[in-house]
Copies of this chain bind each other. A is one copy, B any other.
Amino acid sequence: MNDLRPPAEDRPVAPGIPEATVARLPLYLRALTALGETGLRTVSSEQLATAAGVNSAKLRKDLSYLGSYGTRGVGYDVEYLRYQIAREIGLNEDWAVVIIGIGNLGQALSNYGGFRSRGFRIVSLVDGDPARVGEQHGDLVIESMSDLDRIVKENDISIGVIATPGDAAQGVADRLVSAGVTSILNFAPAVLTVPSGIDVRKVDLSIELQILAYHEQRKRLPGEVRS
C-alpha cells in the first residue's frame, strides 16, 4: 500500500558494489568452483568470463569493486578469488532458512541440492494447512504456522522462502517479518509490502515464460529485423 520508506538515498546502500555486480558474483563463484575442480590454478579474465557467460570487460569491472585480486600479466588465482567472492557474498557464514508452503514447489526447493552446498541450511518446513503438519519430508517434519515465531527465534533464521499460493503470501510475509526474518525470497505470484529494512526478492515462473513468449512472437512476425 503506502510506501513509508525514506527516499532511496537515505536507505542503507552497499558502499561501492552496484546491484548488477552483486547479481553476477554468484555466477563467477560457480564458474571458479567448476574451474578449480578441473585442477586449474590460475585463470585470466577472458577465460573466467567465458565460463561465466559474460564478457571480460564486465568481469574485470565487477571484480574491481571487490579490490585488486588479480596479477597483471598473469590472471587470477582461482582458489583465492573464489574465497574472496564467497566472503563478499557472505557464503562463509551458515544461513538458516525456513520454507513456508510445502506444495510441489516447496518440496522441490527443500530437496534442491544447490542450497545446502552454498551454506544455506533449510531448518524448517511450514505449511498453513493443519492437515499437512506432521508430514515427513527428508529429515524434516512439516510444522505449523502457529509455531513460526518460535521456529525463527530458536534457529536464528534470517531468510524465509515463500512458496504458498499468491493470496496467502502477504499474510505469511507479515508473520515472517514479525517473527524477525529480514530477507524474503518470494515464489508466490503476489506483490509483497514489507517494512523498510526488509529485503524481498521475487522469482516468478510464469513471468519468465511470458517474456520468452513475447520474443517468440516477435520471431514469428514477418518483416521484422532482429538483432
- What is the interface of chain A, defined by CB distance below 8 A to chain B? 1, 5, 10-12, 14-15, 22-23, 25-27, 29-31, 50-53, 88-91, 93, 95, 97, 103-105, 107-109, 111-112, 114-115, 118-120, 158-159, 161, 182-185, 189, 191, 197, 199, 201, 203-221, 224-227
Contacts and interface: CB of A to CB of B under 8 A. Distances in A.
A120 B213 CA distance: 9
Contact of A206 (B23, B93, B120, B184): B120
Given A12-B226, A218-B12, A219-B12, A112 B199 contact: no
Contacts of A210: 25-26, 29, 89, 91, 118
Given A12-B219, A12-B225, A112-B105, A26 B207 contact: yes
12 contacts: A12-B225, A22-B211, A53-B191, A91-B210, A104-B112, A105-B112, A109-B205, A120-B209, A159-B213, A183-B215, A201-B211, A201-B212
Given A109-B205, A191-B53, A201-B208, A216 B114 contact: no
Contact of A209 (B31, B118, B182): B118
A10 B205 CA distance: 28
A79 to B, nearest CB: 19
Nearest to A215: B199
Nearest to A118: B206
A213 B88 CA distance: 10
Most buried by B among A50, A51, A197, A208: A208
A80 to B, nearest CB: 19
Contact of A12 (B26, B31, B191, B224): B224
A58 to B, nearest CB: 14
Given A1-B50, A12-B219, A97 B214 contact: no
